[in-house]
Amino acid sequence: MLFPEHDFLDRFGAAAKAGFRGVEYLFPYAYRLEDLAGCLREAGLEQVLFNLPPGNWEAGERGLASLPGREAEFQASVAEALRYAEALDCPRIHAMAGLLPERADRETVEAHHHTYLKNLRFAAGEAAKAGRDLLIEPINQRDMPGYFLSRQADAIKVIDEVGADNLRLQFDVYHCQIMDGDLISHMERQFHAIGHVQIAGVPERHEPDLGEVCYPEVLARLDSLGYTGWVGCEYRPAGNTWAGLGWGQAYGLSTDTTTRGH
C-alpha cells in the first residue's frame, strides 16, 4: 500500500531507502518468484507476510477459508502460498476468511464456521510442516461488508477451537479500533495469540499520525508487552509516501529526500 508512486517491483528499493527492514503485501502471485526474490535480495529486505490466494478478487471475493464447497480450491491456495513462502523465505501467511452471502441465515453461518475450522486445521497443518505460521485477521465491516471474521473475540475463539500452535492472530489495530475499540486492552488480553501487527490511521486509513489512535502509546505498550515481531504499515498514504513518513522517524524511518534517488 505504500509507495504507490512506484511500480510494484520498484517499491522494494524505495522501502529500503526509507529505512524499512521488511516488506509485506497482499498477493505475490502476479509476479515471478525470481523477480520478487531478486527485489528482496537487492534491497536487503525480509519478506514478512503475504496472503493466500483470495479467490476471484476482481469479482469481489475476499478469501476462501470459510466458503463451503470451495475446499479443494482452498487447499490448492495453501500449496501455492507455501510455494511462494518457501522461495521468499516468508515465515507467515494470512488466510482470508471470505464473505458471507447477504442475509445469511443461521444454518449458512454455521456451515461457514464449520468449513472455516476444517480449512484452518488443514492449512495450519501444512504450514507447520513447512515451519511457517498461519494467520487469521478480523477485518472491519465498513471496508469489507459481509467479511466472515470481524471481531477480535471471534478470532480468538477460532484460534482456540482449531488448537494449532502455529495458528496466530494478525492484530490489525485499524480494524480493531473500528469494530471493537479498547485497543490496548485487546492487545494485552490477546497478546499470547498475536503473530503479526498492522497499523493505520483511523478512520481514513492514512498515516498512523492522522486520526483518532494514539500510536505512540499503542506501540510503546506493545514493546512493554515484549512483542518482538513485525509491525506492518498497512495504510494508504494521504499524499506522497515520503512526505508522510515523519511519524516513523522515531522508529528509524527516513523522510530524507536525498535518499529518494530511486
Residues annotated catalytic, as ranges: 137, 234
CA-closest candidate to residue 41, choices 12, 18, 19: 12
3-state secondary structure of 63: strand
C-alpha cell, 103? 442475509
Nearest to ligand LPHNJNCV by Cβ — which residue?
172
**What does 241 bind: Mg ion, ligand LPHNJNCV, none (CB cut-off 5 to 8 Å by kind)?**
none
Residue 150, interface with ligand LPHNJNCV (CB under 6 A)?
no
Residue 172, interface with ligand LPHNJNCV (CB under 6 A)?
yes
Cell 480493531 belongs to residue: 176
Contact 196, 92 (CB under 8 A): yes
Binding mask 58-97 for ligand LPHNJNCV (x = CB under 6 A): ------------------------------------x---
Residue 51, interface with ligand LPHNJNCV (CB under 6 A)?
yes
What is the nearest approach in angstroms of ligand LPHNJNCV to the Cβ of residue 89? 20
Which segments of the chain are extended strands (E)? 22-24, 46-51, 92-94, 133-136, 167-172, 194-199, 231-233
What is the nearest approach in angstroms of ligand LPHNJNCV to the Cβ of residue 262? 26
Cα–Cα distance measured from residue 175 to residue 2, given in angstroms and rounded to the nearest whole number: 18
Q: What is the DSSP letter of 36?
A: H
Binding segment for Mg ion (CB under 5 A), chosen from 12-20, 159-167, 195-203, 242-250, is: 195-203
What is the nearest approach in angstroms of Mg ion to the Cβ of residue 172? 4
* Residue 188, H or E segment: helix 183-189
3-state secondary structure of 55: coil
Binding mask 219-258 for Mg ion (x = CB under 5 A): ---------------x------------------------
CA-closest candidate to residue 232, choices 102, 94, 107: 94
Rounded to 5 degrees, what angle do the CA atoms 200, 26, 85 make?
125
**What does 51 bind: ligand LPHNJNCV, Mg ion, none (CB cut-off 5 to 8 Å by kind)?**
ligand LPHNJNCV
3-state secondary structure of 88: helix
In the complex with ligand LPHNJNCV, which residue's Cβ is closer, 111 or 144?
144
**What does 94 bind: Mg ion, ligand LPHNJNCV, none (CB cut-off 5 to 8 Å by kind)?**
ligand LPHNJNCV
Chain contacts with Mg ion (rule: CB under 5 A): 172, 198, 234
